[in-house]
Structure 1
Amino acid sequence: MPQPDYQTLIDSPTWDFIRQTADFYPPDAVGLSIAAQRAVYDRMCCAFHRGIPAGVAVSDHAMSGVLVRRYEPANPAATLLYFHGGGFVVGGLDSHDDVCAEICAATGLRVISVDYRLAPEHPHPAAFDDCLAATRAAAVAFPGPLLLAGDSAGGALAASVAHACRNGPQITGQVLIYPGLGGNRDRGSYLTHADAPMLTREDVLYYAAIRHAGQEPKADPTAAVLQDTDFTGLPPTVIFSAECDPLADDGRDYRDVLLAAGGWAEWHLEPGLVHGYLRARTTVPRAAASFGRICAAISQLAGR
């Protein structure tokens, strides 16, 4: 299938971000061990770290045996559980530290970032189990509106937790940022953007194989919510997809099944943006605008 003209779709600041990211990866990155991949990813995220906004208190805790990092504004209006991206293989509390702190500052919500277990040491459903346990613990510790959010793999985890919580605790809303939700990888954006900058279709398949130790489960919404057969009773949902991303259609398809089931959902396709653009929110105008929309969506859902 002919690939899009990324030189036209992607603007100069975004290309600068793509090149800055690529500079952290050696030529033989495909053959790196899991430990080496994590080390590279951690160095990259540290280089993009923009600090903690004033007025945000940060502390680490354990909730139901899961390590979390809590970001507290002066008077939190609600609580947001945040699940980081990284293909279920890389990332942690530090990789998304400034993102969570900025969401806290922008929304006035308490943000709890979850350090779920990673594959391959802990294959599915370990990450899902940790995120669900932390969500249930947060509902007890912080009564009031409870929201979920996450990017990439974390968006998938947030959606799966929302499906699992239909019988409690009540989830006020969820915001999913360029999530992979288990769509058909042989059609649509998976083929159109199979070789997109920042994330390719082969990358998606690679991380899925690691997450599931080989064979992916079927009809398992704890792994991929688009495999569910019931989309009723889910919280209001806002989804942000990057245009130049093989995962883009998953966001649209999830919105469609939620609406068909009588739910409330919005999907935003962010023009010219690539997977992982949260790290570009201070240097790329398009990413900054999208991050503003993400924070506004979280605030609006908290107040619904």
Structure 2
Amino acid sequence: MLEADYHDLLDPETWQFIRDSARHFPPDSDRLPLAEQRALHAGLCRAFRAPLPPDVTLTDRTFGTRPCRLYEPAAPAGTVLFLHGGGFVLGGLDAFDDLCAEIAAGTGLRTVAVDYRLAPEYPHPAAFHDALRAAQAVAQAFPGPLVLMGEDAGGALAASVAHALRGRRALAGQVLVCPMLGGALDRVSALTHATAPMLSRQDVLRMGALRHGGREPAADPTADALRDTDFRGLPPTLIVTAQCDPLTDDGRAYRDAIRAAAGRARWIEEPGLVHGFLRARHRVPRAAASFARILQAASAMAHDRFAAARPG
């Protein structure tokens, strides 16, 4: 199978985003000690940090024993629980601070970011337990619509929490952006985009090994939602993936599994974008448009107006 030709697929703005990212977090950073990788990732996030919206109040709180950050717009109509990306080994509250503030401002929903424990110091299921307990605590603290949202590894955690909570707590929806859902790495996208900019197939394998302590993961939906055997009773779901990402077929597979179980799910594969494109939302028009769709969907879910019956 031929690999994709990114010179044809990516526009100049996206290529500039890739080059700027590489200056702060070089593609061979995985060879460095993990502490240095985390420092580089923090520097990357600072370099792309946008000014915080002035009409959002930030407060550090604890939910479910984990440090969290609460972003409150005026008169919030519900809550978003946000789980950050970073391949289960990178990231934290400061890394996605501006993104979460913009989610709160753009949706009118209070947003709670969770500082879950990272691998390899805390292998699976530590991060899942942190996310689940935080979701339960947030739901108790803020009755009303609750939307789960996650990017990359956070998308995996959000989906697994949605599976764990069905029948126990009604969720307004889940929004998963470039999620790692545990699809087979011999899928078309994993091979076609094996060496994609920003995330390669080898990166996915390496992070999975760190997450699971080098062990082969079990067929466990608390780790990978696509490993579940029952997709009934899940909340309305939007999966947004990037065309130039080895994980993009996970979005299609998850949508199809939910729909086969009579659920409401929509999958959008964003053309000409790469993994981690949310960081480019102020630099790449395609990323900005996708972020606007994500905000619109989260708001619609909170108001029970999400339309999953569109193409995709």
TM-score bin, normalised by smaller chain: over 0.9
1:5 Cα deviation after fit: 1.1
Tell whether 2:142 aligns with 1:142.
yes
Residue 50 of structure 1 aligns with which residue? 50
| Residues 202 and 28 (structure 1), Cα distance of their counterparts in 2 relative to 1, 3 Å cut | closer
Tell whether 2:241 aligns with 1:233.
no
Residue 81 of structure 1 aligns with which residue? 81
- SS of aligned partner of 1:96: helix
Residue 15 of structure 2 aligns with which residue? 15
- Which string of whole-angstrom CA distances, capped at 9 and with x for unpartnered residues, describes residues 10-50 of structure 1? 00000000000001135752311111110000000011000
- SS of aligned partner of 1:205: helix
Residue 158 of structure 2 aligns with which residue? 158
- Which string of whole-angstrom CA distances, capped at 9 and with x for unpartnered residues, describes residues 89-108 of structure 1? 00000111111100100110
- What letter matches 2:212 in structure 1? H
Residue 126 of structure 2 aligns with which residue? 126
| Residues 263 and 249 (structure 1), Cα distance of their counterparts in 2 relative to 1, 3 Å cut | same
Residue 29 of structure 2 aligns with which residue? 29
Query: In structure 2, what is the Cα distance between the partners aligned to 1:288 and 1:28?
Result: 28
1:81-120 equivalent positions in 2, closer than 5 A: 81-120=81-120
- SS of aligned partner of 2:62: strand
- Which string of whole-angstrom CA distances, capped at 9 and with x for unpartnered residues, describes residues 151-171 of structure 1? 000000000000000122221
- SS of aligned partner of 1:232: coil
Query: In structure 2, what is the Cα distance between the partners aligned to 1:30 and 1:131?
Result: 26
1:281 Cα deviation after fit: 0.1
1:63 Cα deviation after fit: 1.2
- Which string of whole-angstrom CA distances, capped at 9 and with x for unpartnered residues, describes residues 41-87 of structure 1? 00000110002101100010111211100000010000110000000
TM-score (norm 2): 0.96
| Residues 110 and 259 (structure 1), Cα distance of their counterparts in 2 relative to 1, 3 Å cut | same
Contact preservation (8 Å) 2:79, 2:142: yes
Residue 6 of structure 1 aligns with which residue? 6
Query: In structure 1, what is the Cα distance between the partners aligned to 2:253 and 2:276?
Result: 20
Query: In structure 2, what is the Cα distance between the partners aligned to 1:210 and 1:271?
Result: 30
- SS of aligned partner of 1:254: helix
Query: In structure 1, what is the Cα distance between the partners aligned to 2:28 and 2:145?
Result: 46
Q: Structure 1 unaligned runs (5+)?
A: none
| Residues 182 and 45 (structure 1), Cα distance of their counterparts in 2 relative to 1, 3 Å cut | same
1:249 Cα deviation after fit: 0.2
1:216 Cα deviation after fit: 3.0
Aligned-CA RMSD value: 0.9
Query: In structure 2, what is the Cα distance between the partners aligned to 1:216 and 1:76?
Result: 43
Residue 41 of structure 2 aligns with which residue? 41
1:218 Cα deviation after fit: 2.0
Tell whether 2:76 aligns with 1:66.
no
Q: How many residues align?
A: 304
- SS of aligned partner of 2:94: coil
Residue 212 of structure 1 aligns with which residue? 212
| Residues 157 and 34 (structure 1), Cα distance of their counterparts in 2 relative to 1, 3 Å cut | same
- What letter matches 2:188 in structure 1? G
Q: Structure 2 unaligned runs (5+)?
A: 305-312
- SS of aligned partner of 2:269: strand
- Which string of whole-angstrom CA distances, capped at 9 and with x for unpartnered residues, describes residues 213-260 of structure 1? 011322200000100000000000001000000000000100000000
Query: In structure 2, what is the Cα distance between the partners aligned to 1:25 and 1:58?
Result: 28
